[in-house]
Amino acid sequence: MTRFAAGILAAVLALAAQAGAPKVKIERGEACVAPVAEMRRDHMKMLFHQRDRTLRQGVRAPRFSLKGCVDCHASEKTGSVLGQDGFCSSCHEYAAVKIDCFECHTPQRAVRTAGKP
């Protein structure tokens, strides 16, 4: 009986979790720079390594750059990765992760301007 109750409880919890889980919108591109499972687990490590290489050594390979993330994943509507359905914020809010990337970096996709200096 207890096992049955535990089973029911687990199923209910799983359903509840499913219902509250964020729906991450992928706006652009066929595939990410790494498999989805790896990106979910390790994207912060990739960004961390890339930031030091870019800033300190001037290596600007686009593969793991934050700018690259924003360029692909910013919402087509708002042009941002933040906001209610923003690519970054939807998951981070659900997981109660407070990142400060966007205190300094722009969450907006670059607007291409031709002919500017």
Partner 1 sequence: MNPERRQLLAWGAAAAAGAMLAPGLRLVELAQARSPEEAASKLQRWGLLIDIAKCGECDACVTACHEENGVTSRGRPTTDPQWIRKVSLADRQTGYVQTLPLMCQHCEHPPCVDVCPTGASFKRADGIVLVDKHTCIGCRYCVMACPYAARSFVHEATSGQKPDVPRGKGTVESCTLCVHRVDRGDTPACVVACNRDGGRAMAFGDLNDKGGVLYQRLRDEPSSQIRADLALNTGVRYQGL
Q: Do 88 and 26 form a contact (C-beta atoms < 8 A)?
A: no
Nearer to partner 1, 43 or 53 (CB): 53
Nearer to partner 1, 25 or 60 (CB): 60
9: its two tokens: 């409880």
Q: Name the burial class of residue 69, with classes exposed (0-12), middle (13-18) and buried (19+) by CB atoms within 10 angstroms of its CB.
A: buried
Contacting residues for 31 by C-beta, under 8 A, at least 6 apart: none
Nearer to partner 1, 23 or 98 (CB): 98
- Write out the residues near partner 1 by the rule CB under 8 A: 51-53, 55-62, 67, 70, 103-106, 108-110, 117
